[in-house]
Structure 1
Amino acid sequence: MSSVLITGASRGIGRAIAVELAGRGHRVVATARNPEDLADLPVAVKLRLDVTDQASVDAAVAAAGRIDALVSNAGTTVRAPLESVPLGEVESLFQLNTFGALRVAQAVLPAMRERGDGRLVFVSSVQGRVVLPIIAPYGASKWALEAIAEGLALETGHFGVKVSIVQPGAVSSGGAERAKSFFADDDPYLPLLRQVPALRGESVTQEEVAAAVADTLENPAPPLRVPVGAPAANALEARKKASDEEPFLPVPLDW
């Protein structure tokens, strides 16, 4: 049994991961901005943690006790064309999805490095390797997250820390439905917005993502990148084979 800290565990994928890992016998430290949202989770420890606040991160990590593994899951998304997306919203995406993930990793890594053992699992997305129109601000934050995660793998592997990036495609967790949207009534990019569901493709469940995260944590030699579900694996494989001379899309646009 290992002790696993999960960020963003109040709902969606993070909650499913907490349930899955607790069911497999791990000591789960579930965290969220609002710890009251964790009240019904069957986990060992429930803590307040805002990944965008250094004091909150430090307090949660200190209260958690030993942390063998971090599942960095906290994140959000928006729907907006790059021409008009409010830059403040893009900054907020990076603060949560990217800088927040690094902030928590920085907090747990010293103890892992000193022990010579630890796991970092970052919940990314197919959009960490494939750009989709209208969701590109989110994709940019995930591309940056994957660069950070791969850099951590290179830097910390010498100290016994294993790093993995879990890459689901569309997930039926409600996150897309909760996303902020920034479009005028006569926005010229509305035809692209209507195509987002087709671009995202077939969805997997949050439980499937949770199982992939748990399997990765329990794998003695986990891969760096872990696609979740056939649609994600197919899209990522097609991206690898595609030319870099023009933008790639997993399905054609009706544009």
Structure 2
Amino acid sequence: MARVLITGASRGIGRGIAVELSKRGHEVVATARDLSSLDDIPAAQRLQLDVTNQPSVDAAVAAAGQVDVLISNAGATVRAPLETVPLDEVTRLFELNTFGALRVAQAVLPQMRERGSGRIAFISSVQGRIAIPLIAPYAASKWALEGIAEGLAIEVRHFGVEVQVFEPGAVSSGGAERAKVFLDENDPYFPMLEQLAGFRTEPVTVDEFATVVADAIKNTEVPFRVPVGKAAIAQLRARKAAPETEPFVAAPLNW
């Protein structure tokens, strides 16, 4: 069984993965910014970890000891048109979704490299390859994350470290409902916001997503990119077939 460090384990996808891996006998190191939010999560160890803070990351990784698998899950999203989204919010998303993920990976990689084994699993999204209207700041942070993951996968494979990117479509984790929204009914882009529900067809459950990740951990032949859910597979297939000369539209917008 593996010792697995999970970031953002207090709720949603991270919590679901922690529960599933614990059921399977793995040693879960559950982490979150608010340590008390981990009280009811089955884990071998619970640690405070803020991925945007280097001392916090260093302290948590030191306390965790050997980490066989890192599941880099901490993240957030927003709803806002690019014309008016506060740049501070875009910076916050990159600090959390992109730089935070790299920060934790950098902290665990030396021990994995020296040991000659390890796995880093980044929780991305179909929006790591598709930009959806009004969620483009989030997509940009995930596109950047996938660039980091792809480069990292090439660099560390020689040292016995594997890297995977999981790309779900919509997940019924509550993340979309918790997103900050920076437009109201008087905003000229508001009619587009009302149609975003069409992009959340066939959401996968947290349990379904956690099962895919847990199955991948025991599998030594997992591909670099792992789409999760029928909708994700269909959207990414459609994106691949679309001409590169035009922006990809996953569904019609009528307003």
TM-score range, shorter chain: over 0.9
Counterpart amino acid of residue 60 in structure 1 = A
Q: Secondary structure at the match of 1:248?
A: coil
Counterpart amino acid of residue 92 in structure 2 = S
Unaligned runs of 5+ in 2: none
Q: Deviations over 1:20-60 (max 9, x none)?
A: 00111100000000010000111100000000000000000
Does 1:6 find its partner at 2:36? Answer: no
Q: Is the 8 A contact 1:164 1:216 kept in 2?
A: no
**For 1:162 and 1:182, how far apart are their aligned partners in 2?**
38
Does 1:223 find its partner at 2:223? Answer: yes
> What residue number does 2:234 align with?
234
Q: Deviations over 1:83-116 (max 9, x none)?
A: 0000000000000000000000000000000111
Q: What is the deviation of 1:201? A: 2.4
Q: Is the 8 A contact 2:128 2:140 kept in 1?
A: yes
**For 1:111 and 1:38, how far apart are their aligned partners in 2?**
26
TM-score by length of structure 2 reads 0.99
**For 2:222 and 2:249, how far apart are their aligned partners in 1?**
28
> What residue number does 1:158 align with?
158
Q: Secondary structure at the match of 1:234?
A: helix
Q: Deviations over 1:225-252 (max 9, x none)?
A: 0011111011111111110111112211
TM-score by length of structure 1 reads 0.99
> What residue number does 1:41 align with?
41
Write out aligned runs for 1:34-183 (5 A).
Answer: 34-183=34-183
Unaligned runs of 5+ in 1: none
Identity of aligned residues (%): 66
**For 1:184 and 1:43, how far apart are their aligned partners in 2?**
41
**For 1:147 and 1:207, how far apart are their aligned partners in 2?**
27
Q: Is the 8 A contact 2:202 2:230 kept in 1?
A: no
Q: Secondary structure at the match of 1:101?
A: helix
Counterpart amino acid of residue 229 in structure 1 = G
**For 1:170 and 1:131, how far apart are their aligned partners in 2?**
14
**For 1:194 and 1:202, how far apart are their aligned partners in 2?**
18
Q: What is the deviation of 1:185? A: 4.0
Q: Secondary structure at the match of 1:227?
A: strand
Computed over aligned residues only, the root mean square deviation of the Cα atoms, in angstroms, reads 0.8
Q: Deviations over 1:103-149 (max 9, x none)?
A: 00000000000111000000000100111000000000000000001
Q: Deviations over 1:54-96 (max 9, x none)?
A: 0000000000011001000000000000000000000000000
**For 1:60 and 1:111, how far apart are their aligned partners in 2?**
14
Q: Secondary structure at the match of 1:162?
A: strand
Q: Secondary structure at the match of 1:5?
A: strand
Q: Is the 8 A contact 1:162 1:222 kept in 2?
A: no
Q: Secondary structure at the match of 2:31?
A: strand
